[in-house]
Structure 1
Amino acid sequence: MGNIQAEPIESKRKYGHRYIDALHQILAGQGWMTCPKSMLAGMTAASFRFTVDRRLTAESTSAYNWMAEHFVSADLLGLTTSQDAGFCFTSTFPIYRKQALRDIRRSLDRGMPCILWHDQFVVATGYDDTSEILFLSDGQTAGDIPLPFDQFGRGQSPYWYYQILEDRIALDEIEVYRESLVQAIFKWETHDLMLPEADYACGKAAHDAVIHAFRIGDYDPIGASEVLAYYADSKRDILEYVTALERYWPELHAATTSYRTVAQLWDEAVRFIATTESNEDHSVRIVMTELFQDANVSEGKAVQSLKHLMRETIHNRFDDIGLR
């Protein structure tokens, strides 16, 4: 078909367009979801993912196994998907690009936008075969962002990725919430095997890495500001999500209280670092270290509360709670 264009759905964000922003954009546009983005981030357990490069570089926010995590995120919602990814510098990339463009256009022909990576997660909303252009939405820029077919997978980063939503099945809402909390525990306790531990830290270890970076002063000051702001958003999403789930499990109140403290501490850290002339000053590093030490303790308490609530499910799986 020559020219296909879906109606764009706004998805305003402050710190980069996350996978969950793109997914929410599509689900809301298709009428498949009406809940706030913080609920989607919680249901998919995406808001609980916490990974940092040990020097707090900006890439920390997208350093995770996209294929595994995004498959699980969709699966938790009852969505069937197809996806692929790779590097643009491989000799076979032109073949993969051709297939990717075919898959994306086929999905758009049936009215389903797609998620793809173009230096951030964006939504392909349409295409023009004559001009050989994809139309993208990043949830913030007004109007369409044109991407020539031959530039697919050729951004500033060497990665290409796309995911197509195919169908959905109805799931029990309570079970979706229950599984998301189990996966929250998994993300706190488990390192992403795709990432070398010498360079990256995940979950609780990521908190320890942030504290260590500020304590010794070995971090990227520009990247750190971006990373902290990004994860402060995630901590607020967690708080909103767990608060909403208290209507089903009043026992979550203790976890909610702890997550509220975590969100407040992260917000305080972001505000503090934004008002300093240099976030590398020793006095600044002392304050940041203390804030994140307190946040680490509070989030640990929150996870222990989740483990107590989900203890039967965890026990029934013989403590093997990952879905990947």
Structure 2
Amino acid sequence: MTSPVLDCTSFHEELRALAAELPKVPRADLHGFLDTAKEVSTRLPGDIAEALDRFNTHGNEDGYLLLRGLPVEPDEQLPGTPTSTPAPTDRELLTMEAMLALAGRRLGLHTGYQELRSGSVYHDVYPSPGAHHLSSETSETLLEFHTEMAYHVLQPNYVMLACSRADHERRAATLVGSVRKALPLLSDRTRAHLFERRMPCCVDVAFRGGVEDPGAIARVKPLYGDGGDPLLGYDRELLAPEEPADKEAVAALSDALDEVTEAVHLVPGDVLIIDNFRTTHARTPFSPRWDGHDRWLHRVYIRTDRFGQLSGGERAGDVIAFSPRR
């Protein structure tokens, strides 16, 4: 089996040169910045370009691709870990943001979601005191398994996470469970029951329209698409099956995903690309120190023309409104 990890250490010089071609203040004209990134991404080193293209076309059994050893600023040269969002529009480009631009544009279109993080496209992910347990800003509790925005008609094809700073103890792990690995663990009866069956699903806080708990306003299929190689719609916190047989089948799926889960400990210079149509992911707890050097990731969402996520005419950097799956 091919490893999902690509060591990019030997490409530092080439990657830094490509990053230097990008506009220095990306948020001043994000559409223009991402258009430039698209052109520059055609000149990525061959091994990286090939790995991205192959993953984009076929995916893999693990459900993720990890680009490890990318160039990144030494910790002392980075700004302090953010304490608010969104990032200032005049903040200069960080190296890991550049890597997200180049790798992301090789895959598809960076997309912002109107209700999430003020519609920003680049997200700083950092610990925040008192964060909601469903928020990526939580730290000392488990961020439970979820397919990102499985309840959204235009859910992203990929979730990309780039690491500028790891947590101090390097305890935090991103957990990834692949449906391609979990499927053989399910009985034929369970597979058949889950396939193409719409189940009630709640939505994340950002998409509730200011209502504290609007209930299950979406309907999600846990398995769908190609029966032999299905897509996954799973959220341990939000999927809300009502029928006993549905609950039993979802519990079996949950157990299978737990059994095949892989832990990825992100370190500075990592870009993790998660196949959001074939996986569920989570993050283990860690302890912030609130010293300006806490864990700092950068996140972008990528849509492609696969699985109906693009209709034509979209541009990288566009921001779209919420439309729940029915």
Instruction: Check whether TM > 0.5.
Output: no
Higher relative contact order (CA 8 A, sep 6+): 2
> TM-score, normalized by length of structure 1?
0.28
The structure in which a higher percent of residues are strand is: 2
> TM-score, normalized by length of structure 2?
0.28
The structure in which a higher percent of residues are helix is: 1
